[in-house]
Amino acid sequence: MTLEIITSDLIAPLRHGFFTRRGGASSGVFHGLNCGPGSSDQTEIVAINRARVSGALDVPPERLIGVHQVHSADVVAVTRSDALTGARPKADALVTAEPGLALSVLTADCQPVLFADAAAGVIGAAHAGWRGALDGILEATVDAMLALGAERDDIRAVIGPSISQRAYEVGPEFLETFLGEDPEYARFFAGGEGDRLHFDLPGFGLHRLREAGIEAEWTRHCTYSDPDRFYSYRRTCHAREADYGRLIAAIRL
């Protein structure tokens, strides 16, 4: 099976993609294109999957760069020397102005966000779960791109496949965390059964990006609702499976 790659005209012509699970070598609960070295999948199989992604982006595997994601608001600027060392610092976003590097993030319900200022030649990639988005990972990525020469008015951002509001049930304490930051954030919650609510993660991400002056869109793919195409941490928990695959999103200059 060939790779399935979701792209956006908003950040074209830069080569990029939100890769689905189709076209991978993994089996069992990981069936498909599992690109997560932190999963319990076979290391050599994950390497094969990542090589297929780097091939699709036309970069050597060692130049498909990621970070050790920790749900933070930390961003790193990467260079070719980082590709050589293979270091994976603890952070949740990467930026670069060096051609020939592919920046990547891994997700399984959280938002993968790809950024580009094509005119300045600056790109970024961010992993934005609810905690990171609330703490400012998206704005921090923009600031890091500006430091490399990007212009705010020229930066475009695309949120890839993420858990949708209808599938993201949360409790009242979750709502209180957001209202403690800004009472206006109540608009990203819809009522559910009993004291349950449904949180609009991509809607919140789009709000934060647009408030930062960035033109942005969501691809409108729900990871939870489409098991044939996407991995989902929450779906795995509900199914009581032992582990789950990680989707990859990447962009290169």
Asked if 109 contacts 226 with a C-beta cutoff of 8 angstroms, the reply is no
Asked if 189 contacts 198 with a C-beta cutoff of 8 angstroms, the reply is yes
| 3-state secondary structure (DSSP) of residue 249 | strand
Asked if 123 contacts 96 with a C-beta cutoff of 8 angstroms, the reply is yes
Dihedral (CA of 22, 24, 29, 34) sign: negative
Task: Give the whole-angstrom CA distance, residue 217 versus residue 201.
Answer: 13
DSSP 185: G
HEC letters along 79-94:
CHHHHHHCCCCECCEE
Q: Which residues contact 20 (CB under 8 A, 6 or more apart)?
A: 3, 4, 5, 6, 32, 33, 161, 229, 230, 247
Res 1: pLDDT: 66
What is the CATH superfamily name and number for domain 5-164+200-252?
CNF1/YfiH-like putative cysteine hydrolases (3.60.140.10)
Res 84: pLDDT: 67
Token reading at 132: 């990171």
Res 106: pLDDT: 98
> Is the pTM of the predicted complex or chain greater than 0.95?
yes
User: pLDDT tens, position by position, for the chain (253 residues)?
Assistant: 699 999 999 999 999 999 999 999 999 999 999 999 999 999 999 999 999 999 999 999 999 999 999 999 999 999 988 776 777 899 999 999 999 999 999 999 999 999 999 999 999 999 999 999 999 999 999 999 999 999 999 999 999 999 999 999 999 999 999 999 999 999 999 988 899 999 999 999 999 999 999 999 999 999 999 999 999 999 999 999 989 999 999 999 9
Res 82: pLDDT: 77
